[in-house]
Amino acid sequence: MPSHGDHRGTEYRFEQPSRTHPYDLGESCSLGDEGDNTPGEGHTPAKQNVFRTRFSQVLANLAIHLLVLDLCMSFAFTTIVIAALLDAEVAEGKDELSINNNEASWLGSIAYICQPVGSVMSGAIVEFFGRKWSMIIVNAPFLLGWVLYSVSNSLTMLYITNVILGIGIGFMEAPIMTYIAETCQPDLRALLTSLPGIMVQMSFFVVYLMGNVTTWRIAAGISASLPVITALYVTQMPETPIWLLSRGRTEDAERALCWLRGWVTPDVVKEEFNQLVTYNNATSKRNPVTSPMVQFSSLSRNQEDQGDKENYINNEFHSNATERGMRAVSTTPTLADSDSSHCNLEIWREMLRPPTLRPLMLVLPYFLIQQLAGMASIRPFMVHVFRELGLDDAAEWTTVGSAVIGIVGAACLVSTVTWLGKRFLSLVSLAGNGASCLLLGIYSYVVLRPGGADQLSATWLPLSLIIVLSFCSSVMFEIPWMMLSEVFPFR
């Protein structure tokens, strides 16, 4: 068996995987009791403080929650703007705006129309700048958008603001879930990927509350502080180790991994770091690391007898190898490897291969159903929809109440997803959404249409259905985002 000092020409033999997702980076690179990480004879394994290990990951992923807060406040803000400006009476001599139904429709739709543009660009930005700097850069359009909102004096400015915010929302999608997937361990990932759902509902609550207690311009000015706070916070967080390895920055990856595992010394994360290096060499065509133990700078200063070290065999890569009819993947750099780019044709071909195509075909319909079957489709016009349902003067505060119910639903998801599972929660929340939407439609047709049965009017009925819809929508909202960080291969 070759030593770690000589990896050129080394072939890694892959055995049968024992886990569900062979490309789950967190699984293959986890710490803890999984796998056989028995050290060489005479070596005492380093101990980890469980609290420090988890606290450092929670601290790093708090940056994600700040980004989610900013993102979803942008989505919710059109609700209070349209509520304030639709058919508003403009007092003479005052710098106020008024919009009609057609203009309100465009104002509520522009951000959604522009979001895919940012989404397409997001992947390239994340790969080029890295996860950390991407999370800093994406704050720029939000800061500009909030400032423009606070000084807007025409419909054109409002449209331009929503274009900027819509592109910014798309920009932010890739860094958010990628950072969680590449920094946290498997036992924390389900929790950390579900916590942003609570932040989503909290952002709705904050925006709707500000819309009730102050003007929309002042609310935009207050919101402008959030991108600044987020950018400053992210500067203190580490880059993801696997991205650093993919760029050949091995020492930086070592330091980042030590930070993420509780500010520990390199010997504590030796096993995980070796797995990361092996994973990077097997999956990345850019800057393969040919000698992980030599590149592991601190360990190279204090190495044991080379005979005690074993080549790590990563079971997680077997699925990809067997699908292509291979039993080994060489880590020897080639000319083709050094000249290849992350944006070449091979990357796009990966989209059509089963390991990527199968989860993609699972996630895309889920997002479509989520958008059509919940609160998202009526969010820009929530206040006016609630008024049409007979809530009248209580419509504004009903939006605040719906956000509170959403927070409760998101908290229920966090607390139950590990033992109820995503499938069961998806079916229950989808059934709740469908039933509440159907009953609201029947009630509107029977009671609220011209010439309808006014005597059957009951304010409590639509209010109750709105509560059910808000709860089920909040549960269903976060599940596909959780899936994004679990089902796709790193490449």
Q: Is residue 116 part of a domain?
A: yes
- What proportion of the chain, given as a percentage, has pLDDT over 70? 76
Q: Is residue 229 part of a domain?
A: yes
In this predicted model, what pLDDT tens digit does every residue of 438-473 receive, in sequence order? 999 999 888 888 877 777 788 888 899 999 999 999
Q: Is residue 32 part of a domain?
A: no
Q: How many domains does the chain have?
A: 2
Q: Which helix (H) or strand (E) holds 13?
A: strand 11-13
Give the per-residue pLDDT at 16.
37
What residues have CB less than 8 Å from 384, skipping those under 6 apart?
Answer: 82, 83, 86, 395
Give the per-residue pLDDT at 490.
66
Q: Do residue 228 and residue 358 come from a single domain?
A: no
Please count the other Cβ atoms lying within 10 Å of the Cβ belonging to residue 445: 10
In this predicted model, what pLDDT tens digit does every residue of 472-490 receive, in sequence order? 998 888 888 778 767 877 6
With b meaning 16 or more CB within 10 Å and e meaning fewer, what string describes 29-47? bbbeeebeeeeeeeeeeee
> DSSP secondary-structure letter at 448?
I
Q: pLDDT class for 93, splitting at 50, 70, 90?
A: very low
Residues in the chain: 491
Q: Is residue 39 part of a domain?
A: no
Range of the domain at 92: 48-191+207-237
Please tell me the pTM assigned to this model. 0.72
Between CA 360 and CA 337 the distance in angstroms is 27
In this predicted model, what pLDDT tens digit does every residue of 362-407 receive, in sequence order? 889 888 888 887 788 888 888 888 888 888 778 889 999 999 999 9
Q: Do residue 91 and residue 217 come from a single domain?
A: yes
Give the per-residue pLDDT at 89.
65
Q: Do residue 56 and residue 186 come from a single domain?
A: yes
Give the per-residue pLDDT at 344.
62
Q: Do residue 221 and residue 358 come from a single domain?
A: no
Give the per-residue pLDDT at 325.
34
Q: Is residue 455 part of a domain?
A: yes
In this predicted model, what pLDDT tens digit does every residue of 238-296 receive, in sequence order? 999 999 998 889 999 999 999 999 999 999 889 889 988 988 888 765 445 543 333 43
> DSSP secondary-structure letter at 29?
T
Please count the other Cβ atoms lying within 10 Å of the Cβ belonging to residue 253: 27
Between CA 94 and CA 29 the distance in angstroms is 61
Please count the other Cβ atoms lying within 10 Å of the Cβ belonging to residue 97: 17
Asked whether the beta carbons of 377 and 371 are under 8 A apart, the reply is: yes
Q: Do residue 359 and residue 229 come from a single domain?
A: no
> DSSP secondary-structure letter at 16?
-
The domain that contains 228 carries what CATH number?
Answer: 1.20.1250.20
Angle, CA of 164, 66 and 187, to the nearest 5°: 130
Per-residue pLDDT at 337 exceeds 80:
no
Helix and strand counts by DSSP (H, E) for the chain = 21, 2
Q: Is residue 483 part of a domain?
A: yes
Q: Is residue 15 part of a domain?
A: no
Say whether 1 sits in a helix, a strand or coil.
Answer: coil
Backbone angles phi, psi at 6, to 5 degrees: -135, 95
Per-residue pLDDT at 425 exceeds 60:
yes
- What proportion of the chain, given as a percentage, has pLDDT over 90? 29
Q: Which helix (H) or strand (E) holds 112?
A: helix 101-137
Asked whether the beta carbons of 331 and 13 are under 8 A apart, the reply is: no
Residue 48 burial (C-beta neighbours within 10 Å; 0-12, 13-18, 19+): middle
> DSSP secondary-structure letter at 262?
T
Say whether 36 sits in a helix, a strand or coil.
Answer: coil
Q: Do residue 77 and residue 222 come from a single domain?
A: yes
Q: Do residue 233 and residue 95 come from a single domain?
A: yes
Q: Do residue 82 and residue 216 come from a single domain?
A: yes
In this predicted model, what pLDDT tens digit does every residue of 116-150 receive, in sequence order? 888 888 878 888 888 999 999 989 999 999 999 99
Give the per-residue pLDDT at 180.
82
Tokens of 163: 């274009």
> Which of 309, 273, 333, 319 has the alpha carbon at shortest distance from 14?
319
In this predicted model, what pLDDT tens digit does every residue of 143-199 receive, in sequence order? 999 999 999 888 999 999 999 999 988 888 778 778 888 888 877 876 777 788 888
In this predicted model, what pLDDT tens digit does every residue of 201-232 receive, in sequence order? 899 999 999 999 999 999 999 999 999 999 99
Asked whether the beta carbons of 283 and 491 are under 8 A apart, the reply is: yes
The domain that contains 398 carries what CATH number?
Answer: 1.20.1250
Q: Is residue 219 part of a domain?
A: yes
